[in-house]
Amino acid sequence: MQGRIFSGIQPTHGIQLGNYLGAIRNWVKLQDSFECIYCIVDQHALNTVQDAAEMRQNTREVAAALLASGIDPARSILFVQSRVEAHSRLAWVLNCVTPMGWLNRMTQFKEKAGKHRENAPVGLFVYPVLQAADILAYRATHVPVGEDQKQHLELSRDIAASFNRRFADGFFPLPEPMIQAEAARVMSLRDGSKKMSKSDPSDMSRINLTDDADAIATKIKKAKSDSILGITYDPENRPEASNLLSIFAALADQSRAAVAAEYASTSFAQFKEHLAELCVEKLAPINAEMRGLLANPTHLDAVLADGAARADAIARPIVDEAYAAVGFT
């Protein structure tokens, strides 16, 4: 194994094709070469999801999606953040070695807090410190994340170094970000200039991992297209065609060029038919597996409880040691 991976995903909503192609599929592959710890970060999500039933539902749905996509609990650890105390214990210590100025520079806080900074929860401001605690509590060496998390990862390294400098040289390894390629960015089916997202009001704009075969086929058929014959990759002039082509290439594990060559003189309608078939072929088994998992919450909860126990066994001694290093007796 090449090191220890830690990554997290917020249960702010269910999982759509963009999350799957942009993040989860990569998490699945990494299991072959790293020791992997994957966390559903409900404590982070509490800044946005403030309804107990919704939090519970989203957490189970994300867990089911990860397992159905191929996260293997026999090889990797999958668990829910709030079930492992190490995260909040370490977060407090790290809060005390992180200058306000560092957090003031975080662009994501500025974006999310917007004009209502005074009303933003303090949890949103210290969010990146909890994220650093997530990673450092396991002495993780590598962290796969999207481009938008780069600044938070750099901060995690600074926080680790700040702790090490004050209390114990070399205590935390500085985690390496593994930035996932932007090439995997999936756009809305209704507007090729917008990211596919769970927060888009139109359900037709995205493919959810909970969609069945009929829903997938309908969404692809109705996806925005243009009237040019043949499918080409030209994101500037043909954003919708390019997006569908990218989705095809990602699902088929082919290059965009290969797919474009194959469909160079095909009508949009026919290309969509093939794409719908491919989507159903790749996603229907995941969908079926997810439904099975969600129908049996006792099993799902047992998998998560086992993951939490294994996560705790790694993180607790490290955080105990950090407590000793700062003089907590």
In the list 65, 155, 196, 280, the residue contacting ligand AMP (rule: CB under 6 A) is 196
Residues 6+ apart with CB under 8 A from 255: 249
DSSP assignment of 249-260 equals HHHHT--HHHHH
In the list 14, 19, 46, 275, the residue contacting ligand AMP (rule: CB under 6 A) is 19
195 as an active site residue: the answer is yes
Q: Torsions phi, psi of 141, nearest 5?
A: -100, -25
- Of 50-58, 73-81, 194-202, 228-236, the segment contacting ligand AMP by CB under 6 A is 194-202
150 as an active site residue: the answer is no
277 exposure class (CB count in 10 Å sphere: 0-12, 13-18, 19+):
middle
In the list 56, 139, 190, 195, the residue contacting ligand AMP (rule: CB under 6 A) is 195
- In the complex with ligand AMP, the residue whose CB is nearer, 14 or 307, is 14
- Of 14-22, 66-74, 259-267, 304-312, the segment contacting ligand AMP by CB under 6 A is 14-22
Q: Determine if 208 is a binding residue for ligand AMP (CB under 6 A).
A: no
Longest dimension (CA), the chain: 72
Q: Determine if 136 is a binding residue for ligand AMP (CB under 6 A).
A: no
How far apart are CB 184 and ligand AMP at their closest, in Å?
5
Question: Using CB under 6 A as the criterion, what x/- string covers residues 141-160 for binding ligand TRP?
Answer: --x-x---x--x--------
Q: Determine if 128 is a binding residue for ligand AMP (CB under 6 A).
A: no
**Which position among 110, 194, 195, 222 bears the catalytic label?**
195
In the list 56, 83, 139, 185, the residue contacting ligand AMP (rule: CB under 6 A) is 185
Q: Determine if 134 is a binding residue for ligand TRP (CB under 6 A).
A: yes
Provide the edge-to-edge strand list for the sheet that holds 142-145: 77-80, 35-40, 4-9, 142-145, 176-179
- In the complex with ligand TRP, the residue whose CB is nearer, 81 or 287, is 81
How far apart are CB 18 and ligand AMP at their closest, in Å?
2
212 exposure class (CB count in 10 Å sphere: 0-12, 13-18, 19+):
middle
How far apart are CB 31 and ligand AMP at their closest, in Å?
17
DSSP assignment of 105-161 equals T-HHHHHHHTT-GGGS-HHHHSHHHHHHHHHHTTT-SEEEE-GGGHHHHHHHHHHHH
Q: Determine if 249 is a binding residue for ligand AMP (CB under 6 A).
A: no
Residues 6+ apart with CB under 8 A from 201: none
Q: How far is Cα 225 from Cα 247, in angstroms, rounded to an integer? A: 14
How far apart are CB 247 and ligand AMP at their closest, in Å?
10
Q: Are strands 4-9 and 35-40 parallel, antiparallel or unpaired?
A: parallel
Q: How far is Cα 240 from Cα 246, in angstroms, rounded to an integer? A: 10
Torsion of CA 32, 35, 40, 44, to 10 degrees: -130
Q: Determine if 44 is a binding residue for ligand TRP (CB under 6 A).
A: yes
Q: Determine if 23 is a binding residue for ligand AMP (CB under 6 A).
A: yes
Binding site for ligand AMP (CB under 6 A): 9-10, 18-19, 22-23, 145-146, 184-186, 195-197
Catalytic sites, residue numbers: 112, 195, 198
Binding residues for ligand TRP, rule: CB under 6 A, are 6-8, 10, 41, 44, 131, 134-135, 143, 145, 149, 152
